[in-house]
Amino acid sequence: MSDVSDGMCAMAWRDNALELLDQRLLPGTVRYQRLTTADETARAIRDMVVRGAPAIGITAGYGVVLAARARYAEDPAVWQTRIGLDLAMLTDSRPTAVNLCWAVQRMAQVMVGLTGNPETRLLAEARAIHAEDVAANRRMGQLGAALLGGRGSVLTHCNAGALATGGYGTALGVIRAGYAAGLIDRVYADETRPWLQGARLTAWELIQDRIPVTLLADAAAAALLCQGQVRWVIVGADRIAANGDVANKIGTYHLALAARYHRVRFMVVAPTSTVDLSLADGSTIPIEQRAAEELLTLGGQPVAAAGVEVWNPSFDVTPAALVDVLVTERGVVLDPDAGKLARLMAIGRFQHNAASIGGTGPENTG
């Protein structure tokens, strides 16, 4: 089985510039945008040229490199003062995914005490963020696949694959590893209105890897779960509050409710950079509101009555009580809550034996 992330990355640093795969054009057109400024990078994040919490964090890291290059060229003596505006612009480009702020803050910490031209050191850090994400995804793929049990089908929502990360994917990382291990025979993918990330991106990735995939309308998911054909629902996350509440693409919450009702287990897969311990629960996670045109039109053509008002949140919050397991690169959390999340975040990154918190496992710390 080939891995689409080996040959098709969401972002790459080439010839002293950032190149982003324009995901708005997939699956029909594969085209990269070449970015040379922080302003272009922020606009690409805002306009969803790149999307997915880990991917926009990595992109912002490279955006800081571009900002530092420009500010240092303006005036080497005050570049660290002037770059503050660029850091704020990148941080504000999308509000819900905490990975964005996390990556910018990490890059800012590296700038402290730098002397001379900062580009080489900052580029090394951005590349490290990128490489660490790919390693984390592959680790999560292994940990999540080990939980699947017997062979069966799974359902996923939105796109949490190679295109949403540095490579390989979070939810799709588990699915890739599970399929390779013979534990998954079919993937059901919600279309994920209104941007159709499931139809355009997830289905495309799985077809590239020759993993059997069936597309369904978001509203059909509960009926599918009722038929007993799905063993797990597996999704990613854009922000996880301290108590385990999960912000993910709109439609995740009602999918979690349907899964609980039909006794289908619900797995969230996300790196620890997605965990925001500063927020006690999901009620304070900022939810991005998108433009009305995303619901009023499709492919540039109107699909709704003229004059109708629109409510278009990009994300919703799934309560921790509906999450059976949270998979991170540091370990697995069963039935997540505030205490278990705190213990997870205290574990060192990529320690050899991953923890299994709140349940039984080969390295149970519950």
Please give the C-alpha separations between residue 288 and each of 72, 92, 313, 350, in angstroms, as whole numbers: 33, 11, 6, 31
Name residue 20's amino acid: L
- Record the tokens describing residue 191, joined without a space: 């279309």
Dig out the tokens for 157 from the structure: 């929502």
- Find the Cα–Cα–Cα–Cα dihedral 276, 8, 179, 142, rounded to 10°: -40
Catalytic residue among 238, 245, 276, 324: 238
Q: Residue 286 and residue 67: Cα distance in Å, rounded? A: 26
User: Is 238 tagged catalytic?
Assistant: yes
If 0-12 CB within 10 Å is exposed, 13-18 middle and 19+ buried, where does residue 272 land? middle
DSSP 58: H
Whole-Å CA distances, 173 to 7, 144, 298, 359 = 16, 8, 30, 23
Grouping H, G, I as helix, E, B as strand and the rest as coil, residue 313 is strand
Q: What is the DSSP string of 219-256?
A: GGHHHHHHTT-EEEEEE--SEEETTS-EEEETTHHHHH
Residue written as token pair 């580029």: 123
Q: Are 331 and 357 in contact (CB under 8 A)?
A: yes
Bridge partner residues of 240 (DSSP): 246, 275
Question: What DSSP letter does each residue of 13-35 carry, written as one string?
Answer: EETTEEEEE-TTSTTT---EEEE
Question: Distance between CA 340 and CA 332 in Å, rounded?
Answer: 10
Catalytic residues: 238
